[in-house]
Structure 1
Amino acid sequence: MVKDLVVIGGGPGGCAAALRAAGLGAKVTLIEREQLGGTCLNRGCIPTKALYKSAQVIRTMREASHFGISLSGYELDFPAVQARKLKIVLQLRSGMEQMLRNAGIQVVTGNGRLIDRHTVAVTAPEGGVEKIKGSWILLAAGSEDAGLTVPGADLSGVLTTKDILEIKQIPSQLVIIGAGVVGIELAGIFEAFGSRVTVLEVLPRILPSMDQDIGKRLAVLLKKKGIRIETGVQIQRIRRNKNGLSVLTAGKQGEEEFPAEVVLTAAGRKVNIEGLNLAEAGVACEHNRIPVDDSYATSVSGIFAVGDVIGGKMLAHTALAEGKAAVESMFGIAAAVKKQAIPSCVFAFQEAAAVGLTEQEASDRKIPLLVGSYPLTNNAKALTMGENDGFLKVVADAESKKILGVHILGSQATELIQAGTMAVELELSAGDIERVMQAHPTFGESFLEAVLRLEPK
């Protein structure tokens, strides 16, 4: 069987690449060992956001009295919450399957591994092996939970993010190891569902990849909601006792023990490259990732790679954009993904979102800076919604006035960041933003207000 393009991995990057190639007239085979949609659709972004919405409804009911509404009570039907989540996942997966069929893309179930620059061997679930040849091969195998290597990490009740999304009942005490995006999102969700939540982080602050002001303020808000957060702690071991599990740590307060019914490990991800047969096919691998050039070509002509396997920001929309760009490069179409314009979103309580350089990153690069910040306490829409905790911060070049970064904490942050992403991608200046009329009353006005407050740092 000979194809124009053979894709290994049916997540956002692989599917986007397959659809773009088919749209350009290529014959495409897509190989996926599990379900189409990858981690994002099946074990990550989408199921988490479905649970987040249920948690958000609970929070709204908790705060109903602030809006002059009295409730006699409510009850969490967790099986119904999980059923709703599954329905959404299945609907989206079905839609993806239909798009691939309509595009004439052949989908093969199995584990794909490289034989040479034009050949992939696919081992089917029942054990049979099929060889598929292609003019180009694209590696988009994604990543999985890195897990923990500390003693006790294999105990029953120590769950990965994949595991906890399938949990049958709400744990009374949940200890989350890792205060990155996934850990912080699930902390808010399970606190709303009724768990007593503790978050443990080895680094000095939560959300270490985001602007420091976001991490500092969000930590305060989460603690006010009853979530315990301990930073700068090393995980020593997990052990079982008569009351359940406990996590033992060492940190600035000395040794501490945190009891738990369930422990969630959310301390990072590792790329899925072990089964790709890279060395035998001659594809270079450095620091557990596949290095690529600006067109996403690997060290072997005809073999490309995108998404989590190449490192960088492990986000679904990053992989999607890279998959499209890689295929366009194959066809000689100029394509690029501006790494500095990749937005990041955190569905916490409050939401956080960011794009571009943080204030610290810009300072480290010796860029003369203008920084403007606008608190949501002064935003009319935020006040009417009872969502006035947070701010919008803009970082700009003091000489060119170009917007270098936008950082948001507050309600609708994950929607507001789209405007910031456009500003960074299109290299808009403060003056460009000032010329755009903002509707009133909206959260979006905060972007303009932050720009108007730009000052030298």
Structure 2
Amino acid sequence: MDFDVIVLGSGPGGYVTAIRASQLGLKTAIVEKESLGGVCLNWGCIPTKALLKSANVFEYIKHAADYGIEVKESNANFENIVKRSRDVANGMSKGVQFLMKKNKIEVIMGTGKVKPGKAIEVTAEDGSTKTITAKHIIIATGARSRTLPNLPQDGKKIIGYREAMNQKSMPKKMVIVGSGAIGSEFAYFYNAMGTDVTLVEYMDNIVPVEDEDISKQLGRSFKKAGINVMTSAEVTKVDTSGKDCKVHIKTKKGEEVIDCDIVISAVGVVANIENIGLESVGIVTDKGKIQVNEYYETNIPGYYAIGDCVPGQALAHVASAEGITCVEKIAGHNPEPIDYNNIPGCTYCSPEIASVGYTEKAAKEAGYELKVGKFPFSASGKASAAGHKDGFVKVIYDAKYGELLGAHMIGANVTEMIAELVVARKLETTGHEILKAVHPHPTMSEAVMEATAEAYGEVIHI
């Protein structure tokens, strides 16, 4: 065998897996067809955060007078904002190149296909092929933007997330279909830049995977910001034959047609499992995902899969954790399987959303008797001082044992606050322990303690 481990795909699942494998003394290679870092670093998590930061700064300038500062004139240079985002992404990708060299991982550029006999055939850009072998092959091919039959992406008028972050000029009017993390982040960004945005969601609430209280609050915040939010609505077709897009939207009141420059399809992702050789090896898939056990082994010995191409949350931090668990098991360690009910989810629009564990509805359906506490940021000294009073922290405890079942936050910087609750749940912390852990004042994070106090009838500041 040429290697101990070959990883197919270099996203946050693949490159992290390769580094951990190398740390564990395994001779490792990684195969990548485009750019090191995959979608996350190049076209996803990182460049979108750069765009959103530009939107934050622009909003601060527009509301400078609220902070006693006079700014005579400000304009958003859309081209430069996009360029900054691309520069950030390129810098991160170069950082991954450095990490590959530092960890003595062989990088093989080209399109990889798994073959029987623990092999991968790599086709380079010039069409030449070579076959490499390893004791263990880990598939980390990720996912791409899902395309719906009634919303075919043409890359110009109907676009996915990739084109949405690389526009040459700012659209005047836009319809975004799907209000998950991707759709909501782009709705916030383009609205902040000055685009007229309509956000269309098929379900009854936007960000439908979140706790209902969070969804309703974001809906209110978006409407206040001037975003046209349409729920229980379905895009039936888009007519792109003219200069503009004519978006036909079916609602409870009937059909509505909205004219716009561009439509963003943000209706989820689909795993990249086609044309990578799964059938030739006999690897089992179901519902568009590779089937694996709790240590990411497929049905064929020596072949593994992690990240967006396997069942579970399609999140960068999940892919990284899965890859680490997978190679630690390969190396003979005894890692603990991942608890998929303790994975934080973050959405980086404004206000931000962060959550972990059960929603209130899911906790009730699971049969728990609950103690629920909410603390609004309107009662937080730090939030008032910062001018960010929108949102709240909501915590859900089991009334019988005090177990922290879930936490849901919406507000400024809450994506930086959620880790406290993830660690608390991992350590099986009770509500009383969080309540008696002294939180610093004034901070946004003390809202966690205050919400817990509210759940137990001891709240001071509301």
Task: Quickly name the TM-score band, shorter chain normalised.
Answer: over 0.9
Structure 1 segment 41-440 matched on structure 2, within 5 A? 41-150=41-150, 153-154=153-154, 156-240=156-240, 242=242, 244-335=244-335, 336-440=337-441
Question: Are the equivalent residues in 1 in contact too, given 2:31–2:110 (CA < 8 A)?
Answer: yes
C-alpha separation between the residues in 2 aligned to 1:155 and 1:103? 37
Following superposition, the deviation at residue 365 of structure 1 comes to 0.8
The match for 1:441 is 442
Tell me if structure 1 keeps the 8 A contact 2:144–2:271: yes
- Give the AA of the match of 1:206: I
SS in 2 for 1:453: helix
Residue 154 of structure 1: CA displacement?
A: 3.5
Change (3 A) 1:155 1:394: closer
Where structure 2 has 5 or more consecutive residues not aligned to the other structure, the ranges are 458-462
* Kept in 1: contact 2:373–2:452 (CA 8 A): yes
Q: Deviations over 1:292-342 (max 9, x none)?
A: 111111111111111001021111011011111100011121222221111
Q: Deviations over 1:172-222 (max 9, x none)?
A: 001101111100000010111110000111111100111111001110110
Could you tell me whether the CA contact under 8 Å between 1:117 and 1:303 is conserved in 2?
no
1:157/1:262 contact within 8 Å kept:
yes
Question: Greater CA deviation, 135-144 or 362-371?
Answer: 362-371
Partner SS, residue 237 of structure 2: strand
Distance (whole Å) between structure 1 residues aligned to residue 250 and residue 343 of structure 2: 35
Asked whether the equivalents of residues 9 and 141 of structure 1 are also in contact (C-alpha less than 8 Å), the reply is yes
Q: Distance in 2 between matches of 1:117 and 1:446?
A: 55
Shift of 1:85: 1.1
Question: In the aligned structure 2, how far is the partner of 1:282 from the partner of 1:223?
Answer: 50
* TM-score, length-scaled by structure 1: 0.97
Q: Is the 8 A contact 1:115 1:281 kept in 2?
A: yes
Distance between the aligned counterparts of 1:391 and 1:353, measured in 2? Answer: 11
Shift, 1:243, TM fit: 5.2
2:330 & 2:181 partners in 1: Cα distance?
34
| Counterpart code for 1:44 | G
How far off its partner does 1:455 sit?
5.2
**Which residue in 2 is equivalent to 1:23?**
23
Give, in whole Å, the separation in 2 of the partners of 1:96 and 1:197: 35
1:79 Cα shift? 1.9
In structure 2, relative to structure 1, the CA distance for the partners of 1:390 and 1:117 (3 Å cut) is farther
| Counterpart AA for 2:184 | I
Alpha-carbon distance between aligned partners in 1 of 2:252 and 2:182, rounded to the nearest angstrom: 25
In structure 2, distance between residues paired with 1:356 and 1:425: 11
SS in 1 for 2:290: coil
Query: Contact 1:355–1:424 at 8 Å: present in 2 too?
Result: no
Alpha-carbon offset, residue 228 of structure 1 = 0.3
Is the contact made by 2:11 and 2:38 (CA closer than 8 Å) also made in structure 1? yes
Give distance in 1, aligned partners of 2:245 and 2:219: 25
Task: Quickly say closer, same or farther: Cα 1:153–1:128, change in 2 above 3 A.
Answer: closer
Q: Say whether the 8 Å CA contact 1:152–1:237 is kept in structure 2.
A: no
1:4/1:136 contact within 8 Å kept:
yes
Q: What residue identity is the alignment partner of 1:48?
A: T
The sequence identity of aligned pairs, in percent, is 34
Distance 2:268 2:353 in 1: 19
Pairwise CA RMSD of aligned residues? 1.4
Judged with a 3 Å threshold, the aligned counterparts in structure 2 of structure 1 residues 455 and 252 are, in CA distance, closer, same or farther, namely farther
Query: How far off is 1:269 after superposition?
Result: 0.5
Query: After superposition, what is the alpha-carbon deviation per residue over 1:254-288, rounded to whole angstroms, capped at 9, x for unaligned?
Result: 01111111111111110000022112201110111
- Aligned amino acid, residue 133 of structure 1: T
Contact 1:340 1:424 in 2 (8 A): no
Structure 1 stretches of 4+ with a deviation exceeding 4 A read none
Q: Is the 8 A contact 2:51 2:189 kept in 1?
A: yes
In 2, Cα distance between the equivalents of 1:397 and 1:155? 48
Against the structure 1 CA distance between its residues 155 and 383, is the aligned structure 2 distance closer, same or farther, given a 3 Å change threshold? closer
For residue 240 of structure 1, report the CA deviation from its aligned partner: 3.0
Q: Deviations over 1:381-426 (max 9, x none)?
A: 0011110111000011111101111100001111011111111222
* Partner SS, residue 114 of structure 1: strand
Comparing 344-353 with 148-157, greater Cα deviation is found at 148-157
Residue 210 of structure 2 aligns to a residue whose secondary structure is coil
| Inter-partner Cα distance in structure 2 for 1:277 and 1:371 | 49
Do the aligned residues in 2 keep the contact of 1:393 with 1:406 (CA within 8 Å)? Answer: yes
Partners in 2 of 1:340 and 1:195 — Cα distance?
37
Distance 1:153 1:114, change over 3 A: closer
What is aligned with 1:6? Answer: 6
Contact 1:153/1:237 (<8 A) preserved: no
Letter in 2 for 1:360: K
Task: Note closer, same or farther for the CA distance 1:341–1:155 as it changes in structure 2 (3 Å cut).
Answer: closer
Asked if 1 retains the 8 angstrom alpha-carbon contact of 2:155 and 2:163, the reply is: no
Q: Is the contact between residue 153 and residue 160 of structure 2 (CA under 8 Å) also seen in structure 1?
A: no
Instruction: State the match for 2:460 in structure 1.
Output: none
Instruction: Return the letter of the residue paired with 2:247.
Output: V
Return the offset for 1:97: 0.5
AA of the residue aligned to 1:290: I
For residue 450 of structure 1, what is the aligned residue in structure 2? 451
Contact 2:151–2:238 under 8 Å retained in 1 = yes
Quick one: distance in 1 between partners of 2:308 and 2:346? Answer: 17
Partner SS state of residue 192, structure 1: helix
- Write the letter of the residue equivalent to 1:421: V
Instruction: Give the number of equivalent residue pairs.
Output: 456
Q: Is the 8 A contact 2:405 2:425 kept in 1?
A: yes
1: distance between equivalents of 2:276 and 2:294? 22
TM-score (norm 2): 0.96
Give me the whole-angstrom Cα distance separating, in 2, the residues matched to 1:210 and 1:414: 14
Query: Letter of the aligned partner of 1:394 in structure 2?
Result: V
